[in-house]
Amino acid sequence: MNRLLFILFLLLMPGFLAAQQATDKPRRGEGISTFLERNGRPGRAYYNEFLELNKKRLKGKKELMYGVSYVLPPKHGKASAKERQGNGRTLHEPLFGKKLDDVKVTGSRLEGACFYVVSGHGGPDPGAIGRVGRHELHEDEYAYDVALRLARNLMAEGAEVHIIIQDKKDGIRNDRYLNNSKRETCMGDPIPLGQVARLQQRCDKINALYAKDRKKYKYCRSIFLHVDSRGKRAQVDVFFYHADGSKYGRRLARNVRDVFEQKYHQHQPGRGFEGSVSARNLYVLNKSTPVALFVELGNIQNTFDQRRFVIADNRQALANWLMEGLVKDYRSK
C-alpha cells in the first residue's frame, strides 16, 4: 500500500509543482528586466534564475515572445532584500513624472556606459505636425515621451544618462494625444527659434558634458530622436542615420537596426522590416563630439505610423527596442 502511495505521489508531483509556479505573459515590446521588475522580481539574481527556468521558451538570445507564458522565479526571502531593491540603488529623476521618478537599477548590462538622449525640436519649435481628427500631433511631444522612456530604461540597466531636452511638467505620459506646449528647455536654458542656434545649443551641452564624461566612461553615445514628415501614403519603418565616415556610428546604427528587425520578426511574423541605415550630413551628427545616432521613428502624417506614436505601449516598445540595440552595441565594443 505504501509503495502504491509513493508511486502516486511521484506521478502527481510534477503537476503539483507546476501549479505552484507563478507565470505571466510579457506586454508588447517588454524586455526581460522590465518584465521581471513589473512582477516584483528585479535584479541580477532573478534575471539569471529566469533564464534557467525559461531556456526552452526564449527565442534567440534572451528574447521574450509576445503571447507566451513564462515561469517567474520564486520570490526570495529576507536574505535577498538588497537584490530586490536593485542592488541597493534607486535613482531619482523628477523629469519622469511623480509616479515614475524613482528608478530602481535592476540590471548592469550598461554599467560603465554614458548616453546623451536628445528629443528633436522643442520650445518654440514643434517640429513636424500630423493630425488625427481634431487632434494635432506635434513631433517634439512624441519624440520627448519616447526619449524619457528610453532614458529610464538605460538608467535601470546601470547607465549614466543625460536628458538634454527637458520639460519639468510633462513626465512620461500614457495619453494617446499628448498636450502641446512650448515649455521645453535645453537643460534649463531657453531654446532659440533659429534652427542653427537651436542645434548648436544642444551640441554645446553634449560636448561640455562629454569633455568630463570621457575621463570616466569609455563608451559615450549621443542619441537623437525625431519623427519624420512625408506624404500621408508613405508608411515607413524606423530608420537610422550616422555621421559620414563614422565607423562606430555606422556600427551603432546597424546594431540598433538589427534589433528592430529581430523584434518585428518576433512580434509581426511575415511583415518584414525595411528600416534603413545610412550616412547623413546632419548638423547634430557633425557637431556633437561623441559617436552619435539619429533615429527617425516614423512618418507623423501616415495613419499606420501614427499608431506607433499615439499608443503608449508602442512608444514604450520603441524605447525598449532602442535600449536593446544600445546594449548590443555596448557589448560589441
Same domain for 28 and 108? no
Question: Are β-strands 185-186 and 165-166 bridged in parallel, bridged antiparallel, or unpaired?
Answer: antiparallel
Amino acid at 289: T
Domain end: 54, 84, 114, which one?
84
The reply to whether 53 and 125 lie within a common domain is no
* Per-residue pLDDT reduced to its tens digit, 91-135: 999 999 999 999 999 889 999 999 999 999 999 999 999 999 999
Q: Are residues 207 and 232 located together in one domain of the fold?
A: yes
pLDDT the model gives residue 309 = 94
Q: Tell me, yes or no, whether 34 and 142 share the same domain.
A: no
Looking at the structure, tell me whether residues 39 and 135 fall in a common domain: no
Confidence grade of residue 56 (pLDDT, cut at 50, 70, 90): confident
Range in 70-74, 78-82, 198-202 with the lowest mean pLDDT: 78-82
Residues 62 and 178 in one domain: no
Please report the beta strands in 58-120, taking only residues with DSSP state E, as ranges in sequence order.
70-71, 90-92, 102-104, 113-119
Domains: count for the chain: 2
Mean pLDDT of all residues belonging to the chain:
88
Q: What is the pLDDT of residue 10?
A: 42
Contact between residue 202 and residue 187 where contact means Cβ atoms under 8 Å apart: no
The DSSP call for residue 79 is G
User: Which helix (H) or strand (E) is 4 found in, with range?
Assistant: helix 2-20
Q: So what's the pLDDT on residue 18?
A: 40
pLDDT average, residue stretch 67-76: 88
Say yes or no to pLDDT of 14 above 80. no
Q: Do the bridges between strand 102-104 and strand 113-119 make them parallel or antiparallel, or are there none, so unpaired? A: unpaired
Q: Note the pLDDT of residue 65.
A: 84
Higher pLDDT: 11 or 304? It is: 304
Instruction: Check whether residue 80 and residue 114 sit in a common domain.
Output: no
Domain's final residue, options 26, 59, 84: 84
pTM, to two decimals: 0.77
Q: In what order do the strands lie in the sheet with 239-242?
A: 160-163, 113-119, 219-228, 291-299, 239-242, 277-279
Residue 172: which CATH number?
A: 3.40.630.40
- Alpha-carbon distance of 241 to 280, in angstroms, equals 6
Q: What is the dihedral of CA 276, 279, 280, 285, to 10 degrees?
A: 110
The domain in which residue 136 lies consists of 90-331
The answer, yes or no, to whether residue 13 has pLDDT greater than 50, is no
Query: Which of 47, 62, 84 corresponds to the end of one domain?
Result: 84
Question: How buried is residue 244: exposed, middle or buried, by Cβ count under 10 Å (0-12/13-18/19+)?
Answer: middle
**3 state DSSP class of 326:** helix
Same-domain status, 58 and 156 = no
